[in-house]
Every structure is written in structure tokens, then in C-alpha cells.
Structure 1
Amino acid sequence: MNSHKINNILEHFDYRLLENPEFKEDSVREEIVLPIIKGLGYSANKPNQIIRSRNLIHPFVAIGSQKKKIYIIPDYLFEVNDKPSWILDAKSPTESIIKSKNVEQAYSYAIHPEIRARFFSLCNGKEFVLYSVDNFEPLMHFQMQAIPLYWENLKAILSPKNVFSTNSLEYKKDLGLHLKRLGFDKNTILIFPQIPVTNITQLDNDMFTINVGGATLNETTYVATFDFHLDVLKQLKGKIPDDGFEMLLTRKKEGRVAVRFPDRAYMVDVECEIGQKLEENDKEIFLPLKLTRIIN
């Protein structure tokens, strides 16, 4: 995986700019959002058109017996062959894009009678979040510095050729199974840089797991599962929030402890090997990778 050059649409952006109080919403639009939407395949021209700041009459506002025209204005509406497909709202780096009024606002744009889009998204420069109007939880949520890991997933859902496809949300291939079929075995040491940790679940008293939804290898995106023992969990101290770490460390002997980090992903470099035991749930068969060491 190290030898493959991952597409980084924001390769030349200096993320230190996000700490500058002068870097506000308009800067997020120009420096971060614009390269992403152009990279996805949209432009000012038809058929895959970016429409900026379209006025929409709010459908729910009336004063007395009179309707009052109040306009709501999404930052970006994307149309494919004149059909609305998704919307994106840009926010300043200081604004929340998870469980906030901003999410409710973006949702109202997406379900507007003039739009009726399937997806809506928000970006504050530090993070990107993508929702389906049919689900409460995000489809994708990542720090912008991790966008190379999520880029193929993002294109699989939002590119003009995929955005109306019913297949865009199908399960991805399992990375462990893929590597096993390529001939890798338990004696092969694998290094994965910048794995985004957004969740850790206790499987038993001495076993934990991390699920990653956007591992890209040779331009194909996989789901990866990393299982690890208590000694590796202890190596995550200082790399994930202290409260989550302590919750996992004081694990239950029976039952499961699950910790999620909804506000950001914590990036770690890991060393692992191919697992030996196939796992199965009601939707898929997968082969977890055995995480042996946290490198950074």
C-alpha cells in the first residue's frame, strides 16, 4: 500500500492557514471546496453544473393569512443534465458541521421542493461530512487532511456518473480478503500510514477492533477491519481522547464497550499482518487484519 500514490486533491494546501482568524467561509470555498467539486467532475458549464447561491423560497413561512417570501440560499447546488443531485454548504473553520443547526439548514436545502436531492454535505475546511436525506447518521465524515483515504469513496457517491446510481452505497470489498487472495500470509508485515481512527469496539476482554471505510489500494476502495490486543490499545494513549481511552482501558469483562469519535478522525500509522480467521455478519464475510503495533 505504501508504494501506491494516493490521489490528494488538496496536496498543495497549507492546513496551518485554518488557524488564521482571517481564513473564513469565503476562503474555505475558494481554497478547499472548489478543488474538491472540480475534482469530482463539476464545472460552471452543463451538463455537470455548479450553481452557486440559488435563491429558494422557504416553503414553511407564513405570517397570518399572508405568505411571506423568505429566501434560503445553499452555497452550492449540483445539477447533472439539469437535474439537482446534491448540495454543499461551506462554513468557516470555527463552525460545527456535526449535530448542529448547520446540518438542519443543509438538510432543509436538500429536501426543498425545488431541489429534492438525495445527498447533502458540509465543509468547514477542517472537516467534510456527507449525509443522505434518508439517514440520520453521516455516510462519511473525515478530517480534510485524510481526504486521500476517502477520495475514491467520495467519487463513488458524488461524481456525476454515480450520484443518481442506486449502487453508490453498496458495500465495498474487504481489504483483508483481497490481500489474502493476492498471496499475503501471516509472515508478511504490512505498514498502513495515516489510518483514520473514528471508532474502537471491544470484542472481548483482551480484543478490540477498528473499522475503516475508505482504504484505497490501486484505485479501488476497500473496507478494512483491524483487530488488536490490550497491549496495542495501550499504545494509543495520547493519540485518541483520554476519556475514550480510559473507557476502553477499564473495559467490561462481559459485554462490549464501543467508543466513537464523531467530531474528527485521529490519524495513526500502524503495522499489521494478515489475520487467520474469517468473520461473518448478516451482510458480508470479511478477514480482519491483525494490528501488531502503533508506529507513530
Structure 2
Amino acid sequence: HVRKDDLFEPISFDNLNETDIREEILAPLIRALGYRSGTVHNVIREQSLRYPRAFLGRKNSKKDPILRGIADYILEAELSVRWVVEAKAPDVDIDNDAIEQAFTYANHPEIRAVYFAVCNGRKLVVYQTNRGPQSAPLLEINYEDFDSKYRSIESLLAPESILRDNPSIEPEIGEPIGEGLRSIVRVTNGLISYHGSSVNIPALREMQISVSSGALERDEEGRLVAFLTTVAPTRSMQNLNQRLGLSSFEMFSPDSRISSNADEPTTFRGEQIITLPAGERLLDINTWREVAIPMNMTCRVIFAATGHLEGHRFHGSFESIMDYQSFNQRISLYGKFEMFVS
């Protein structure tokens, strides 16, 4: 990767917020180091985690800290060795609380990062994960020194440096979820495409929902659990999906392993009941316009995905059923899905 001199121009932090720090400070630094989304040195932004506590399998609320928010950046050197960055606003101190938060993401089994960093724009601080959040930082640099000390940052965090200093990855000792996969799997992206419905609404038969992120793992009983976040093609449809609990949901399978045999597929199912208050405005899929609900409405949502694994692609058929009990109306949608996992 090539970097021009004086990349980090003087900047006033007085009116900047956390989003500004991500865009004005961290994004240029990450690009300068040689990371790009969709490449072998990948960038993952705002990765959601299925289990909202720091350590899977130790579900004791008194011992297992809750994760607040989601990791701002996960950087992957050769798609294998990771480090994470947590952004803060300039007026937020990099204190024990901020360091602990970044550490919990880095140490989470879905992430397994070798380093974690916190940056409030004014300062970048980097720690080694396996030494814990109370250890001394590996690197601590003020923003005004980014240019003069850039080689120190590069020597620690550039992809080749990450790979040089971390040649061996902690071995995976859990039972693989599927052929070629780990015991905890991240869903990188995917798509749910509908091609049929129980009602004569052509738009529903052409609807596609993007899978933006998620995870596959096992629960305490050894069942497979899929957690997915989705993005609808329009704002009104996204709002409807959020209210119906379909923008972020869990599905369960009695199996303990994803099948690689198309003749013996794995089925995930989920169900939830949502009550919508009278007066709330939602998309009417019959007219494709937002309307106010005339009365309290209860909707039972059922969804199922049946498929098999081919390499890192899990795909098959998908069905959603929306049972509007208050109106005695039941709408079924069916189609196909594919998810890419790593």
C-alpha cells in the first residue's frame, strides 16, 4: 500500500462527534494502512453480535458483562487475523470503561481479535487482547503525531505487520458447525428472494431482502441458532420489517450441524408475536402506502429456512407467514435464500 506524506492534516475537534471521528480520522488511517472492504485485507463495519454478552457459554449476568452497541471496525489481515477499533467522540476520555468495552468485543468468540484500539480523534491507544484491558498499551499516539510517528502505527497495525507478529492463530477446539466451518460462524452477507405469495400482489413476488450480517452457533442445548439482520429495499418496507421483528431475528434448528447434503437439508424455524398499537402508521402491502392502523393489531410471524451448505454458501428455500390475528388475515410468502459465512 502507498501513503502520501502529511496525510493527517491539522483538525479542530471542538465540534466533532463520534461519527466524525470514524469518517475523518479512522477511515483515512485504515485506508493508509492497506485495508479495504471486500479484499483480502478486509474491513467490517459495525458488526452485530448474536449473543449480547462478552463471553459465550458463561451466561451468568453477574459475571458476564453486557456488550453495549457494536464494534465500529473489525480489520482482517488476509481474512484471518483480526483487530478491532472502537471510536469515541473527542470529548469522551479513553478511560477504563472505554478500554473495557473495546476489549469485550476483541475477546468475544465471534471476533477473536489479537489487538483492540480506542480512538477519540485526539488520541489512538492500542492494546494486546490476550494481556487484558488492564495491561499497558502497546501504542499510544496523539493525532498531531500521526504523521511523524506513522511508521510506528504501520509497524504494529498494517496487514503485513499483523501477520508477521501473529503467525499462529489460536486453534479452534469446538465442534465445527458445518464442513469447513468453525464452531461459531459469522454471516457476512446474503439475500432472501420471494417469488410467490398467498395474495395477488405482484410486488411481493419480486421482493428481495438483503441479509446484512449475522451469526451461526449453538445454544446451551446444542441446537443450531441463526441470528440475522436484514435490510429491506425501501424505507417503508424496512419500517414494517422492524415492527414485525423481521429486521433482526433468531431462528433455531434441532440439528447440531448444518448439512452439506441437499437430500437431507437443515431447517431453521422462528416465531414471534408482535402487537401494534392503534394509530401507528405502517405500510399497507395491498396499496403499498403507509396507513394508520385503525385498532390494536396482533401479528404472529412465522419463518422457516431449509437448505444445505456448499463451501461457504448456505442456501435453500425460505418461507414467511404473517398471521394478522386481529383482522383474520394470513399472508404467506415463499422463495429462496442464500447466505455467505466465514
The answer to which structure has the higher strand fraction is 2
Q: State the TM-score, normalized to the length of structure 2.
A: 0.42
Larger-gyration structure (1/2)? 2
Bigger relative contact order, structure 1 or 2, given CA contacts below 8 A and separation 6+? 1
